[in-house]
Amino acid sequence: MVSQRLQTVPASGTIAISNLVSQMKAEGVDVVSLSMGEPDFDTPSNIVDAAVDSLHSGFTHYTPSTGIPELRKAIASYTKRNDDVPCEAANVLVTPTKQAIFMTCLAYIDPGDEVILPDPSWVSYEACIRLAGGVPVYVPTHFDDGFVVDPALIEAAITPRTRMIVLNTPTNPTGAVIPADRLKQIADIAMQHGIKVMSDEIYSAIIYEGKHKSIASFPGMFDNTILVSGLSKTFAMTGWRLGWAIAPAEDIKNINKLQSHSISCCTSFVQQAAVEALNGPQDSKFEMVKIFRDRRDLALDLIRDIPGVECNTPQGAFYIFPKYNRDIPSAKLAEVLLKEGHVAITPGTAFGSKGEGCFRISYAASEDQIREGISRIRKVLMGL
């Protein structure tokens, strides 16, 4: 029998849809997928070449569990330069981003401990919290406020059992960016109560208005934050499975204890490629963000043209999270869209109860796919 621990974990709605789309495509069905959070660009050639060179040079053996020194230094410099976070190489653990989230939960959450997180939010946060024995405590966000979390609601949710606050900005699934003033309020609340913040900043480079602000950059907050990020979204490197955690050296030591007993270390030649990604030319990254902005604007124009559908303007990531007025649950709507419209989206409830009445579209797809996919959504919605 499967463990009790695993029985408490929700399935991934995005992966389930992706698997079904793959199956339908294998059966010859013409499906337009607007469901997966994966850039459709190829990894820049200079990064690929660095990996190939590393392989040919024989760099295929174990590395230090914390990561190769030159990559830890590159990550620290990149984060300090772009996000004003006061970190050094000793504050970096090289690890897949999801692994960083999972290990952070295991390292700092005991059974019964409470973790505050926004609703809606990425379902894997809840999974990692529950696997650690923790209790997710959701703070509602709302369409009319752009799905931006309210610091007052976070403070109201704190109890003697609260051990952590989880933030994600820019946000999956809504594309919302938490403004600096709200981040400062959350930082003050966390420091006042002695609660750690795990800040997922994987989309920090994909931002359209203004500049990314990390909660770890506020005075005194670095010592209270575990920042997780990676290469997947910024450099179109989803399959490379490499990211990092940035935290005080003692926290890195604690989390690395788990890494040394699980994956041991990250893939050696991918680490060399990551050095090139962070230190090399950034032109491809900037061009990708420009294209995403154009796709965002296209997707917004098309989705807002459907009667009974509203949508906020996301400031980052590559998702829109429209609200619809049809009397059908979002999970059922996703099923109807896929089976009858042959277009894949992700239901809002895959991200929490406050996602009901909404669905997520990923515009990490070509303009032709966006046009065709939203045309199919329109046709199905107009028939309901």
Q: Residue 71 to residues 63, 100, 188, 269, 298: CA-CA distances in angstroms? A: 11, 16, 32, 11, 37
Q: What is the CATH T-level fold of the domain 4-43+284-382, as seen in this structure? A: Aspartate Aminotransferase, domain 1 (3.90.1150)
Sequence-ordered alpha helix ranges (H) in the chain: 4-7, 13-26, 45-56, 69-83, 97-108, 123-131, 151-157, 180-193, 249-260, 268-279, 283-304, 330-341, 367-382
Quick one: pLDDT at residue 25? 86
Quick one: pLDDT at residue 4? 87
Quick one: pLDDT at residue 103? 98
Strands (E), 188-234: 196-200, 225-230
Quick one: pLDDT at residue 5? 87
Q: Residue 125 to residues 111, 133, 198, 327, 366: CA-CA distances in angstroms? A: 16, 13, 10, 29, 29
4-43+284-382 and 61-279: same fold?
Answer: no
What are the sequence ranges of the domains in the chain? 4-43+284-382, 61-279
pLDDT tens over the chain, length 384 residues: 889 888 888 777 677 777 888 888 889 999 999 998 899 999 999 999 999 999 999 999 999 999 999 999 999 999 999 999 999 999 999 999 999 999 999 999 999 999 999 999 999 999 999 999 999 999 999 999 999 999 999 999 999 999 999 999 999 999 999 999 999 999 999 999 999 999 999 999 999 988 999 999 999 999 999 999 999 999 999 999 999 999 999 999 999 999 999 999 999 999 999 999 999 999 999 999 999 999 999 999 999 999 999 999 999 999 999 999 999 999 999 999 999 999 999 999 999 999 999 999 999 999 999 999 999 999 999 998
Contact predicate 51/273, CB 8 Å: yes
Quick one: pLDDT at residue 361? 98
Q: What is the DSSP string of 292-317?
A: HHHHHHHHHHHHHTSTTEE-----BT
Quick one: pLDDT at residue 15? 74
Q: Residue 166, Cβ neighbours under 10 Å: how many?
A: 24
Quick one: pLDDT at residue 1? 83
Quick one: pLDDT at residue 20? 83
Helix axes 45-56 and 268-279, enclosed angle (nearest 10) = 140
Contact predicate 91/226, CB 8 Å: no
Nearest to 125 by CA among 83, 167, 77, 63: 167
Quick one: pLDDT at residue 207? 97
Quick one: pLDDT at residue 2? 87
CATH number of 61-279: 3.40.640.10
The three-state (H, E, C) secondary structure of 70-102, written as one string? HHHHHHHHHHHHHHCCCCCHHHEEEECHHHHHH
